[in-house]
Structure 1
Amino acid sequence: MSAAPRQNQENRENQQTRETVVRWEDTAEAMAALPELAGLEFLRRMISGDLPGPPISGHVRMDLVAAEEGRVVFRCEPDESHYNPIGAVHGGLMCTVLDSALGCAAHSTLPAGMGYTSIDLTVNYLRPVRADSGPLTCTGTVIKPGRRVVFAEAEMVDAAGRAVATATGSLLVFPIGPDAA
C-alpha cells in the first residue's frame, strides 16, 4: 500500500465514526389484521400504535402521522446517514417516502380484504435535501380511486415549506388474505 492511501485510511479512522440503529416491531400482528380491516382503519391503527408500523419506517426515519380517506401524511427526518456521495440526501430515500405516501393514500380507499402494489412511479426531484433541511412532510392524495387501479400523487416539502420532490403513480388493487388464492 502506498503512503497516500494509508494516510487517507488513518485519517478516516481518526474521525468520529457515526452509526444509526434500526429498530422495528414484529409485524405478525399487523399482517394478521391486514385482511380483516378496511385500509383507512388499518392505517389509523398504525398511527395510534395499536398495530406496529412497517420495518422500512425505521430504516428511513419516516412515520405515518395522518390518514383520511384518499389522503395520508408522512413525516421523515433525514440525516447524514442518508447522504449520497455528493453530500445530499439520496434520491432513493425521497422516492421511498413518496412511494409510501402514494401506496398508503390508495390503501386508505380500499375495503377489508384488498391490497395494492405499485405499477409505476414517476418522481421529480425539485431541490437538494440535506440533514439541515429539517423534517420533510410528504402528503399523498388519491386522484382517481378504483377497484382495479388507483391513481395517486404526492408532494414532499422541507421544513421551510418548499417543495423538494413530487411523484405520481398508479397502484394495482388485488385481494389479500387466506381466501385470496
Structure 2
Amino acid sequence: MSEKSRTITWTDPLPQAAAARTMSGVDYLRAILKGEIPGAPIAAHLGMGFVSVEPGDVVFTAVPDESHYNPIGSVHGGFYATLLDSVCGCAVHSTLPAGQAYTSLEIKVSFLRPITVDTGPVTAHGWVTKPGSRAAFAEGDIRDAGGRLLATASSACAVFPV
C-alpha cells in the first residue's frame, strides 16, 4: 500500500461573495474566468475551472485524480454530482442581475459511464432551460475529451434577493 497526499490551496471566499452581490451573475463569473476574482474553494478540490461563460450557458473542465476515488477504484459519484451542481448553478447565476442570488433546490444526476484517472480531463456543460425570478431550471452534462457522454443532470434553483 502506497500512501499519497495532495495539498489544496484556496482563497478566503467571503470577500468575493460580497463582490458577487454587487455584480450581475455573468459579469461576476467572467471575472472569475479572467482570474480577476478567485474561484470558489470547491474548485481547488476537484481541479475545476471555467472554460466559458455566456448568459445561461457555462462550461467547466475538471481533472479527476485518485483522491476522488471510491472504495471500488473509480471516481466517486460525489465528483460527478458536485461538478454538475456547480455548472448548473453557475448557468443559473449567469442569468441573474446584481442583487440576486441562487441556491440549489434539487439535482438529479444520471451516471452513464465510470470516470477513472485514465479518463483524463472532463468537460461539464450547464445551460438554463427556464430562467426565473423565484425559481430557475438548468440541465448539464459531463463528457470526456472524445465527447463521450459520462453523466447528465437536471437542476432546480431558488432565486432570491441578497
Same fold (TM over 0.5): yes
Aligned partner letter, 2:161: P
Q: Which has the higher helix share?
A: 1
Is it true that 1:42 corresponds to 2:32 in the alignment? Answer: no
8 Å contact kept, 1:29–1:51? no
1:113 maps to which residue? 99
Match of residue 4, structure 2, among 18, 22, 30 = 18
* Distance in structure 2 (CA, Å) of the matches to 1:79 and 1:31: 28
Once the two structures are TM-superposed, the CA of residue 43 in structure 1 deviates from its matched residue by: 0.2
2:159 maps to which residue? 173
8 Å contact kept, 1:29–1:52? no
Q: CA RMSD in A?
A: 0.8
* Distance in structure 2 (CA, Å) of the matches to 1:174 and 1:22: 32
* Distance in structure 1 (CA, Å) of the matches to 2:67 and 2:14: 29
Report the count of equivalent residues: 162
Larger of the two Rg values belongs to structure? 1
| Structural mapping, 1:9-158, within 5 Å | 12=1, 15=2, 17-158=3-144
Once the two structures are TM-superposed, the CA of residue 37 in structure 1 deviates from its matched residue by: 0.1
TM-score, scaled relative to structure 2 = 0.97
Deviations 1:50-93 (A, max 9, x none): 11110000111111221000000010000111111111100101
8 Å contact kept, 1:83–1:89? yes
Q: Percent identity?
A: 48
Structure 1's unaligned 5+ residue stretches are: 1-11, 177-181
Question: 22-31 vs 74-83, which deviates more?
Answer: 22-31
TM-score, scaled relative to structure 1 = 0.87
8 Å contact kept, 1:67–1:73? yes
Once the two structures are TM-superposed, the CA of residue 28 in structure 1 deviates from its matched residue by: 3.3
Once the two structures are TM-superposed, the CA of residue 32 in structure 1 deviates from its matched residue by: 2.0
